[in-house]
A and B are shown apart, each in its own frame.
Chain A
């Protein structure tokens, strides 16, 4: 459903994505793995329109989106959960969720749809219902991450882009969040592109993955294959970080 072809993205002079191609099929969980600075987050930001590509194409169901502004891309069904969550601390949990509904809230029947969606999110993350009127800043890290995911889901995306959802969270919370991500794809049919430092956890729930290195894709494969790949193991799964090209 999403096809990225030969994308090149720059930060000023810095060539951050070098001729990257990738695809997502409906309902798939695809993960991007790679070291810091490999271009994983840049790729997600490039798809969501935050750092548009200089060259290359991004097609959503055959429709070119690479030149569209971020809000248009959200409208077409691609939502991003940004790195570091980026929630509004002084607003309540529910108000944060409301922001995610900006596409339809003021439209006819929008209010009802909004209430429906909030119900769904509370069903997914029951703890958010309890904290409903609390300022988001008072939530724990894990709860804030749930809120960030909930806010992205409020826009009813077909594709959810997740940037480091496990960052700074306790293992038990990570497990819970990953099982929700898994359920979103398997039961809800949402397509997911997941960037994770914790490659092992990501590969466990993913169907496929791409390995990025200095802005280039060096490998594409099924999650199981990538888990077995020694290079991936050493470099990104934390077995040992010794340089394997020591021949």
Chain B
């Protein structure tokens, strides 16, 4: 079993903690000097980086929230001048405007090596043909995997998303050995092959590296059986770096979190208190090596827990459990993060009103379906039928272009929405109508 960076992945804990302390102190010195947002926050609590004595001191520092990134749009969180940034990506924010992400040359190199770690841990080798079915564009997923695979020396097939028929044809003809996409898209490929009487076991495919959305052990079993592959999970957060924060090894017993680059904490999402190891809470990450946008105690919104016991693979890095859910109402549709507040803003922009609405996410088939129910207001009710249809169509288009997901939109009696507990409803089981 190979390890990409044994020096850092198998460090004795004591050495790791010294390295984390050094990198944290350096990061704090840099953000204090270069990022106005952090200098202000630190001054408010009379903290100077020189006082930072041990890893435990981190809990005295304030969190960074997605809202902070939003408020400093576009470049306020950058710790380097823009001309040192060689790449910009973006991630969905809480409003229509996305968050801007930047990478220096070193950040890109770091990223490639972190992704290479979990790809190697999952069994990818230089002889592999890696088919990447993540969207190439502003999102981080495809590029991160791309660089990691190239660092290993594997052959990359940059398929991007969509066109399942072409994906399958290339998979068959090019003899792809590794598939990288969302777990739900892997099932879509399995569906497609079944529908067309193609035998997935006749493919050269041997590994699947899936991420971008949470998935269950049942789903893993289903994918492995139907495609005849070994499927592993990996974890990333766009605002932090993209993929490359943690990933499973072949033992599939938790995701090794790359602690020499990211310092993890688990907190109680309500009180903000740090929880002892083993407790379930919100994952908070402090970056230790990032240059362009270092983040101090970034709240990921993902609920998980950490296991510090050693793994059979020899890595000493802490393992995080597959994320169990979210602390907020974010939903993930086909790998795209969606916040109800974004939908709310779009509705407001187009109608000038804030009607009641609910988002139904149907997970029963392999690809999630999203329906938005909007409570009819007097103003909408007064519209002619044709106008109503036009409004719904422009809402649908706007959501498609701003957020990037397809939806069906229905007008409903507002009374049916007044008693709903949450803006989001998930349908996991039951007959498909």
B18 within 8 A of A: yes
Contact residues of B: prevailing secondary structure: helix
Residue of B nearest to A15 (CB): B50
Given A216-B49, A218-B33, A225-B106: A22 in contact with B80 (beta carbons within 8 A): no
* Chain B 60-114 interface residues, beta-carbon cutoff 8 Å to A: 80-81, 84, 104-106, 109-110
Please report the C-alpha to C-alpha distance between residue A22 and residue B19 in the assembled complex, in whole angstroms: 8
Asked if residues B80 and A216 are in contact (CB atoms below 8 Å), the reply is: no
Please report the C-alpha to C-alpha distance between residue A22 and residue B23 in the assembled complex, in whole angstroms: 9
From B54, B81, B104, give the contact of A246 (CB < 8 A).
Answer: B81
Asked if residues A231 and B23 are in contact (CB atoms below 8 Å), the reply is: no
A131 within 8 A of B: no
Residue of A nearest to B85 (CB): A230
CB 8 Å contact bits of B22-62 with A (1 = contact, 0 = none): 11011001100110000000000000011111100000000
Asked if residues A5 and B21 are in contact (CB atoms below 8 Å), the reply is: yes
Asked if residues A220 and B26 are in contact (CB atoms below 8 Å), the reply is: yes
Say how far A113's CB is from chain B's closest CB, in angstroms. Answer: 33
Residue of A nearest to B33 (CB): A218
Asked if residues A216 and B50 are in contact (CB atoms below 8 Å), the reply is: yes
Please report the C-alpha to C-alpha distance between residue A57 and residue B239 in the assembled complex, in whole angstroms: 36
Asked if residues A225 and B109 are in contact (CB atoms below 8 Å), the reply is: yes
Given A225-B106, A230-B104: A220 in contact with B22 (beta carbons within 8 A): yes
Q: With a CB–CB cut-off of 8 A, which chain A residues contact B34?
A: 245
* Chain B 386-409 interface residues, beta-carbon cutoff 8 Å to A: none
* Chain A 15-49 interface residues, beta-carbon cutoff 8 Å to B: 18-19, 21-23
Residue of B nearest to A25 (CB): B15
Asked if residues A230 and B30 are in contact (CB atoms below 8 Å), the reply is: no
From A21, A210, A244, give the contact of B18 (CB < 8 A).
Answer: A21
A189 within 8 A of B: no
CB 8 Å contact bits of A203-216 with B (1 = contact, 0 = none): 00000001101001
Say how far B21's CB is from chain A's closest CB, in angstroms. Answer: 5
A92 within 8 A of B: no
Say how far A33's CB is from chain B's closest CB, in angstroms. Answer: 13
From B33, B52, B81, B109, give the contact of A228 (CB < 8 A).
Answer: B109
Q: With a CB–CB cut-off of 8 A, which chain A residues contact B104?
A: 229-230
Say how far B56's CB is from chain A's closest CB, in angstroms. Answer: 13
From B30, B52, B81, B84, give the contact of A219 (CB < 8 A).
Answer: B30
Asked if residues A228 and B50 are in contact (CB atoms below 8 Å), the reply is: no
From B19, B21, B29, B54, give the contact of A218 (CB < 8 A).
Answer: B29
Q: With a CB–CB cut-off of 8 A, which chain A residues contact B23?
A: 220
Given A217-B25, A218-B30: A6 in contact with B53 (beta carbons within 8 A): yes
Please report the C-alpha to C-alpha distance between residue A220 and residue B260 in the assembled complex, in whole angstroms: 12
Say how far A221's CB is from chain B's closest CB, in angstroms. Answer: 7
* Chain A 158-209 interface residues, beta-carbon cutoff 8 Å to B: none
B289 within 8 A of A: yes
B291 within 8 A of A: yes
Please report the C-alpha to C-alpha distance between residue A244 and residue B52 in the assembled complex, in whole angstroms: 26
Given A218-B29, A228-B109: A22 in contact with B81 (beta carbons within 8 A): no
Residue of A nearest to B75 (CB): A247
Residue of B nearest to A215 (CB): B50
Q: With a CB–CB cut-off of 8 A, which chain A residues contact B22?
A: 21-23, 210, 217, 220
Please report the C-alpha to C-alpha distance between residue A43 and residue B105 in the assembled complex, in whole angstroms: 30
A51 within 8 A of B: no
CB 8 Å contact bits of A226-247 with B (1 = contact, 0 = none): 0011110000000000001111
Given A230-B84, A244-B81: A19 in contact with B25 (beta carbons within 8 A): yes
Q: With a CB–CB cut-off of 8 A, which chain B residues contact A217?
A: 22, 25-26, 29
Residue of A nearest to B81 (CB): A247
A134 within 8 A of B: no
Asked if residues B53 and A19 are in contact (CB atoms below 8 Å), the reply is: yes
Q: With a CB–CB cut-off of 8 A, which chain A residues contact B54?
A: 6
From A3, A229, A246, give the contact of B291 (CB < 8 A).
Answer: A229
Please report the C-alpha to C-alpha distance between residue A21 and residue B50 in the assembled complex, in whole angstroms: 11
CB 8 Å contact bits of A45-70 with B (1 = contact, 0 = none): 00000000000000000000000000
Please report the C-alpha to C-alpha distance between residue A18 and residue B52 in the assembled complex, in whole angstroms: 10
Q: With a CB–CB cut-off of 8 A, which chain B residues contact A229?
A: 104, 106, 291
The residue among A213, A231, A246 with the most chain B CB atoms within 10 A of its own CB is A231
Given A5-B18, A19-B50: A216 in contact with B29 (beta carbons within 8 A): yes
Please report the C-alpha to C-alpha distance between residue A219 and residue B19 in the assembled complex, in whole angstroms: 12
Please report the C-alpha to C-alpha distance between residue A216 and residue B30 in the assembled complex, in whole angstroms: 10
Say how far B111's CB is from chain A's closest CB, in angstroms. Answer: 13
Please report the C-alpha to C-alpha distance between residue A5 and residue B52 in the assembled complex, in whole angstroms: 11
Say how far B23's CB is from chain A's closest CB, in angstroms. Answer: 6
Q: With a CB–CB cut-off of 8 A, which chain B residues contact A218?
A: 26, 29-30, 33
Asked if residues A231 and B26 are in contact (CB atoms below 8 Å), the reply is: no
Asked if residues B51 and A19 are in contact (CB atoms below 8 Å), the reply is: yes
Please report the C-alpha to C-alpha distance between residue A244 and residue B83 in the assembled complex, in whole angstroms: 10
Please report the C-alpha to C-alpha distance between residue A19 and residue B34 in the assembled complex, in whole angstroms: 19
Q: With a CB–CB cut-off of 8 A, which chain B residues contact A21?
A: 18, 21-22, 25
Please report the C-alpha to C-alpha distance between residue A21 and residue B81 in the assembled complex, in whole angstroms: 27
Asked if residues B289 and A221 are in contact (CB atoms below 8 Å), the reply is: yes
CB 8 Å contact bits of B192-206 with A (1 = contact, 0 = none): 000000000000000
Say how far B200's CB is from chain A's closest CB, in angstroms. Answer: 42
A and B contact pairs by CB, cutoff 8 A, 18 listed:
A5-B18, A6-B53, A6-B54, A19-B49, A19-B50, A23-B15, A23-B19, A210-B22, A217-B25, A218-B33, A220-B19, A220-B23, A220-B26, A221-B106, A228-B106, A228-B109, A230-B105, A231-B84
> Beyond the given A19-B50, A216-B29, A228-B106, could you list 13 further A-B residue pairs with CB under 8 A, ordered by the A residue number?
A6-B54, A19-B49, A211-B26, A216-B25, A216-B49, A216-B50, A217-B26, A218-B26, A218-B33, A225-B110, A230-B84, A231-B84, A246-B81
Q: Which 8 A-B pairs have the closest CB atoms?
A: A19-B50, A230-B84, A18-B50, A21-B22, A218-B29, A216-B29, A217-B26, A220-B22
